Structure 1
Amino acid sequence: MHRMRHQFSVYDYVIFGAVLIISVLIGIYYAFCGTRQNTTTEFLTGNRNMQLLPIAISIMTSFISAIMILGTPAEMYTSGTLYMIYIIGACLGCLLASLCFVPLMYPLKLTSSYEYLERRFQSVSVKLIATLLCTIQQVIYLGIASYAPSTALHAVTELPERATILLVGVVATIYTCLGGLKAVVWSDVFQALIMLAGLLAIVIKGTVIVGGIQHVWEVNKQWGRIHFNEFRVDPTIRHTFWNLLCGATIGWMATFGTSQASVQRYSSLPSLRKARLSILINIGAVSFFIFLACITGIVVFSFYATKGCDPLTSKQIENTNQIIPYFVMEVLGYPGLPGLFIACLFSGALSSVSSSLNGLAAITWEGFLKKPCKSLSEAHKSLITKSL
């Protein structure tokens, strides 16, 4: 791991820094342009007049985190291609969310998804309990989402992990606080492009170095890594066709249909048709990103299998989540490429953290502060939501 720290060049720092600066500038732009986020409706929902494509991309980016960018290739590296079945479940989950949940939630014009519970059960207590549980869950998730890129950056620079976690939190807080949902959405669009560029760079360059996609596939096949036919119904088996399919379907259906980040975004669109389309678009978008992450894993496995050296068993890395940073720094250490990869990870973290922060502001305002503060002016209400 020590060798990797000396390969992060000035070009890498420039690319990495540019991603952080542009994200902050987007927040500054929306803070001082247009209506300047002077109402809670503007700050939390974009006046419910957002554009379809940015919202669709933002919904996807909110859930394509640095955890997935590191974890999915690591899973493919260690266990083979069976995990790709997860993509089918993600597609089904998006479809069911669009058919079942969006038509139910969108007409209610919700800011917090937990407002539905109050209306459904005629109980404020149910909403408050759900809001409190969600707040606890999101605070825990913020820590996990921030930690993932810190391990990679610590591996290639001298920057301490705590400083990296703080950097993610500060940058995400600044542009979320300044620009509200509009800044979060457009930052997500920018960060999605960075994540796409980072994954494509690894897949394309890695495939070329290994000897082509056919060689990648053949090597994985020789090592018994290409398998999709685990159909046993056995709960003691780590991954089967059925638990991947059912787990992904239920998980993504709930995520896209009822999670705060998703409801807040598709409710900001001007029509039900566009709200449903924002989820349907993600059938292709989410599938493509997961597929890229999966291909990354088998490309990396092909390289080290051909080389006859496993970085994990040779103690070059401490755990499989470091395999992609190690591959990038040791094999693809061209000026700028490591910086693009770290920027890719940070984009995944920033999108997840900013979505959580904006969602926490929305549910806290709707759940605990809206009624006590109803006599305040819109400017003061907006200031309170920004401070959350």
Structure 2
Amino acid sequence: MSILDWLVLGGTLLFIVGYGTWRTRRAGQSLDGYLLGGRQASWWGIGLSIMATQASAITFLSTPGQAYDDGMRFIQFYFGLPVAMVLIAVFAVPIYHRLQVFTAYEYLEGRFDRRTRTFTALLFLVQRGLSNGLSLYAPALVLSAILGWNIQLTVWLIGGLMIAYTVAGGTRAVAVTQQGQVAVIFTGMVVAGYLLVHYLPAEVGFQDALLVAGHQGRLNLVDFHFDPNDRYNFWSGMTGGLFLALSYFGTDQSQVQRYLAGRDVRESRLGLLMNGLLKVPMQFGILLIGVLLFVFYQFNPPPLSFNRPVLERVAGSPEHAPALRQLEQQHATLFEARRQAAGQLVQALHQPNNAEAIAAAQTRLQATTAATAGLRQETQALLKRAVPTAEAKDTDYVFLTFVLRYLPQGLVGLLIAVVLSAAMGSAAAGLNALASTTVVDLYQPARPGQPERHYVGASRWAAVGWGLLGIGFATFAARLENLIQAVNILGSLFYGSILGIFMVAFFLPRVGGRAVLWSAVAAQVLVLVLFWRTDIGYLWFNIIGCGLVMLGSWVLSRGER
């Protein structure tokens, strides 16, 4: 990066963090102030905080690569989210506010018993602790690729900064800082989308780019075909995605804490509904950037692998370099053929009543695209043989590669600031929620009667501990597939059981703690076994886990009567 990029990056991040810290310099004297910001958040602040908490750095690194590789069908994952926001606003928000709880799991002790509260809190802590590790790995991936730093050392550097920021700020600092982060995120993504279209050939406009993408199956927004093994279709999104959103926004403390901080029920509800209205369009825009990247690389030579550090390492290997050079020669030949086919398709699309020419150009383009995909698979296999610890896929590097190679000075720093702003917002909220749950649901019941300052200090130490555990897990994140999928898979393994416990609490008033606890334990074990032994699409685990807890609780409660 240039000096200008470093100034833009450093200045943006320092201003956001500095302003947030200054605005909240008197917060954190009481447990209510530190964990919930004194419950003074407005609806628009809640909405922005919810969006920033969910939109981690993984969203902006991995989602464009997902669309580049697989088209727009990932958008179906979010179809159930607006419905979930309405249901949570109607049923959960009034209960949480009426009871004035610090965490969602406090409610479970009054409804069931201490054991159920503790078990549910532990499920959340495991899931969110691991997810935070992935959130730390994503920005470390950025800096390691830019600066050539060791990925593990970079994880420790970024993780240490995030721990310090979270421990010092508390919930109010997280919320205030996230407002600036969201502004940077939206600005950066709009700039990236504009430049992608601007850098296309003069004869290829935005509409032409969409037509080219559509003729290659990249605008696959909705798929009504039912297949339980398919991760993304309309039915999995409206059912599994709905249940995942219900659990994430209704029972995950990292999100519940956002709207527990609201002034009243109305503010919290409006914040949730704001997220429901904006989240799908936001995700559509990010996926559209991935589709535009796919079209961009029809006319501009893409690298043989977007994982540049590994590619350079293999290129310097005497054993594997000859095979890599041969693949690069084939790749260059295929790119020329694909570029010509893409140009012919655009010309045919500009001519009226030219279906035959369009079909011929599309056939040639599909053939060269398929051949290129096969060559990429050969390259990935070669890289994996040469560097066994390398990532299984390179799609997480697609957007980053475009930023580094094509954006002018200054804008590179802005786009890196987007990624790091998203990482800070998500990780800070996650650590804050982990600390809240650890202290309020585990530590405080074990050591009651201490002064509030004692619990605030314990919350800070808990944030440090969970931050260190997240760093440890982040060092293994490079072994996973596409990061956005890894996060959602991890959530789906636990959220179904958690949601089932809350569904029983809300809608099955005659079920007691013993029945729901043992049903949840059995459901969690079965979900993990199904994930390990079957090919069921991961979104369905949210329904399976929730359904098993509710059915098991009902059956066991009838046996107890």
Q: TM-score, normalised by structure 2?
A: 0.63
| Residue 330 (1) aligns with residue 405 (2) | yes
154, 159, 162: which one aligns with 1:164:
154
Q: Which moved more, 1:38-47 or 1:162-171?
A: 162-171
Aligned to 2:136: 146
Other-structure match for 1:365: 439
Q: Which amino acid counterpart does residue 326 of structure 1 have in structure 2?
A: T
When the two chains are superposed, the root-mean-square deviation of aligned CA atoms in Å is 2.2
Judge which range, 149-158 or 87-96, deviates more: 87-96
Q: Does 1:375 align with 2:368?
A: no
In our comparison, the structure showing a higher alpha carbon Rg is 2
Counterpart contact for 1:231–1:240, Cα < 8 Å: yes
- How far the C-alpha of 1:368 sits from its partner, in A, is 2.2
Normalising by structure 1, we get a TM-score of 0.90
SS at match of 2:262: coil
1:57 corresponding residue in structure 2? 48
- Return the alpha-carbon distance in structure 2 between the equivalents of residues 252 and 311 of structure 1: 37
Whole-angstrom CA distance in 2 between matches of 1:310 and 1:232: 34
Matched, 1:134 2:124: yes
1:200 aligns with 2:274: no
- Letter of the structure 1 residue corresponding to residue 98 of structure 2: P
The answer on 1:349 being equivalent to 2:438 is no
CA distance in 2, matches of 1:169, 1:237: 35
Contact kept, 8 Å, 1:105 with 1:263, in 2: the verdict is no
Query: What is the aligned partner in structure 1 of residue 82 from structure 2?
Result: 91
Gapped regions of structure 2 (runs ≥ 5): 306-374, 384-392, 463-561
- SS of 2:197's equivalent in the other structure is helix
Listed one character per residue, the Cα deviations across residues 51-85 of structure 1 (whole Å, up to 9, x for unaligned) are 22212111111011112222221121111222233
Q: What are the Cα deviations for residues 144-173 of structure 1, in whole angstroms up to 9, with x where unaligned?
A: 111112222222222332233223322222
In the TM superposition, residue 140 of structure 1 has moved relative to its aligned partner by 1.2
After superposition, the C-alpha distances for 1:204-252 in whole angstroms (9 at most, x for unaligned) are 1111212432122011023232234532212233432211332322222
Q: Deviations over 1:91-140 (max 9, x none)?
A: 2222222223223333221111111211111x111111222222222221
SS of 1:198's equivalent?
helix
- The aligned residue for residue 256 of structure 1 is 249
Q: Secondary structure at the match of 2:135?
A: helix
**In structure 2, which of residues 11, 22, 28 is the aligned counterpart of residue 29 of structure 1?**
22
CA contact 2:439–2:455 (8 Å) conserved in 1: no
Name the structure 2 match of 1:174: 164
Partner deviation per Cα, 1:321-346 (whole Å, 9 max, x = no partner): 110001111222x1112222221111
Match of 1:222 in 2: 215
Whether contact under 8 Å (1:128, 1:368) holds in the other structure is: yes
Partner of 1:4: none
In structure 2, distance between residues paired with 1:88 and 1:265:
22
Question: In the alignment, what sits opposite 1:241?
Answer: 234
90, 101, 104: which one pairs with 1:110? 101
Assess if the C-alpha contact under 8 Å between 2:65 and 2:396 holds in 1.
Answer: yes
Q: Which has the higher contact order (CA 8 A, sep 6+)?
A: 1
Amino acid of the residue matched to residue 69 of structure 2? T
Distance 1:229 1:280, change over 3 A: closer
Please tell me whether the aligned partners of residues 72 and 294 of structure 1 are also in contact (alpha carbons under 8 angstroms).
Answer: yes
Taking only the aligned residue pairs, the percentage that are identical comes to 28
Partners of 2:303 and 2:453 in 1: how far apart?
58
Partner of 1:321: 396
Quick one: structure 1 residues 51 and 227, their matched pair in 2 at CA, closer, same or farther if it must change by over 3 Å?
Answer: closer
Secondary structure, aligned partner of 2:199: helix
Partners of 2:63 and 2:148 lie apart in 1 by 26
CA contact (8 A) 1:73 1:297 kept: yes
Q: Tell me what 2:336 maps to.
A: none
Q: Tell me if the contact between 1:82 and 1:241 (Cα under 8 Å) persists in the aligned partners.
A: no
